[in-house]
Amino acid sequence: MTTIERIHARYVYDSRGNPTVEVDLTTNLGTFRSIVPSGASTGSNEAVELKDGDKSKWEGKGVLQAVENVNEILGPELIKSEISVTKQKQVDDFLKKLDGTANKIKLGANAILGVSMAVCKAGAAELKLPLYEHIAQLAGDEAAIKNKKYVLPVPFLNVLNGGVHAGGKLAFQEFMIAPIGASSFREGLRYATEVYHTLKKLAQSKYGQGAGNVGDEGGVAPDVDTAEEALDLIYEAIKKCGYEGKVCIGMDAASSEFHKVAKQYDLDFKSPEHNKILSGEQLGELYVELLQKYPIVLLEDPFAEDDWDSWKHFYNVTYKKLDQNVEIVTDDLTVTNTKLLQNAIQERVGNSLLLKVNQIGTVSESIDAANMAFKNDWSVFVSHRSGETEDTFIADLTVGLKAGHLKSGAPARSERLAKYNQLLRIEEQIGDDGVYAGRDFGRAKKL
């Protein structure tokens, strides 16, 4: 049995220039590295990303304590335990026990996740498996393991940024394109890059050269005021490229960011005028209008994390007005947490889980959340964070879980492309044993 020889953490920088945790785990087979991402639009129930709070350094965003917790506590104790790197759940349970809190506030979810992901990579090497195949085994996907059949996901690329990810007045945070009509991941990514470059040129021609500047996740950020303006621009780019019907649209409203008291939503929250205040029910009607007008196949976080009434009314009443199937994705509401997910399933508020590994803080808990979603006929949508790194773990995770779709930003900025490029490699490696999710992205687990 391969044992862990050394675990060492350091701070490196994420895509926003803020410190984050990097972990190197060494066995006799080599060194396995992980880097932890960080979110800007975060749910209040997420596992705690431990920050130093020292305003004299990095504006309080340092992670020196999290790094120390790996080097002085998590690493030494895990090595002493002699748990095999192939025993992911046992390792993760051990790490959680060392922390001893429900939200990982003592040692930090960023410290724990860094070790957890590095262990997963080392476990794959120990078993002589590609990372995605090791994850499939951890998830208990016997069919994929036996038949060696894997699903390449549809990339949902955030090509136009608003909300807290960009300037301008646009309240909604992300507008994504999804090449569901392609025949392969490789072809789909090509479609997406062509639409992206066309969109950038259109934005510059209509809103000036500055409209080609990009937000946190690589999408353009023109100074548009409404969702309709943004969607018109994207739809025009799709049609100009000749991909109408082949490339569709996804939206992440990130509505917790503009939710006000008494279940009201301020679509003008970035302006001093605040002239666009809607009730949850009115906001739901606006979504239906957009879903009927544009080829939107996915809507994420349409309501705030604590506005359960609006979620339930929309999914069980307003949403029923649609004659098309649209994924209603929960993010801030469920934060990759099985307890919150179970409640969301029982309350019937959506049909898809957004999975972010750093929301919960370990690989095995992320897998547990995905399996719970699948068991209840929900889909799983794997996601990056706005503060990303060059780590490609979530690409393998998406394939290993047969999640069928993932978002990792626009095709611009290497920390986003790293995931898409890894999927190109995986597709090449899998060959004929892989199938592209395409229009079945929401039911990929059953392919």
- Binding-site positions read 165, 174, 252, 300, 331, 383-386, 407
Among residues 51, 96, 356, 445, which one is catalytic? 356
Q: Over the chain, what HEC string results?
A: CCCCCEEEEEEEECCCCCEEEEEEEEECCEEEEEECCECCCCCCCCCCCCCCCCCCCHHHCCCHHHHHHHHHHHHHHHHHHCCCCCCHHHHHHHHHHHHCCCCCCCCCHHHHHHHHHHHHHHHHHHCCCCHHHHHHHHCCCHHHHHHCCEEECEEEEEEEECHHHCCCCCCCCEEEEECCCCCCHHHHHHHHHHHHHHHHHHHHHHHCHHHHCECCCCCECCCCCCHHHHHHHHHHHHHHCCCCCCCEEEEECCHHHHEECCCEEECCCCCCCCCCEEEHHHHHHHHHHHHHHCCEEEEECCCCCCCHHHHHHHHHCHHHHCCCCCEEEECCCCCCCHHHHHHHHHHCCCCEEEECHHHHCCHHHHHHHHHHHHHCCCEEEEECCCECCCCCHHHHHHHHHCCCEEECCCCCCHHHHHHHHHHHHHHHHHHHHEEECHHHHHHHHHC
Residue 217 bears catalytic tag: yes
Residue closest to 222 by CA, chosen among 296, 137, 160: 160
- What one-letter code names the amino acid at 143? A
* 415-430 exposure pattern, b = at least 16 Cβ within 10 A, e = fewer: bbbbbbebbbebbeeb
Rounded Cα distance, 261 and 266, in Å: 10
First to last CA, the chain: 35
Neighbours of 302 (CB within 10 A): 29
Q: What is the CA radius of gyration of the chain?
A: 21
Residue closest to 14 by CA, chosen among 59, 61, 60, 75: 61
Among residues 217, 305, 365, 415, which one is catalytic? 217
| Known binding-site residue numbers for substrate | 165, 174, 300, 331, 383-386, 407
| Known binding-site residue numbers for Mg(2+) | 252, 300, 331
Q: How are strands ordered across the β-sheet holding 264-266?
A: 259-260, 264-266, 277-279
Which residues are known to be catalytic?
217, 356
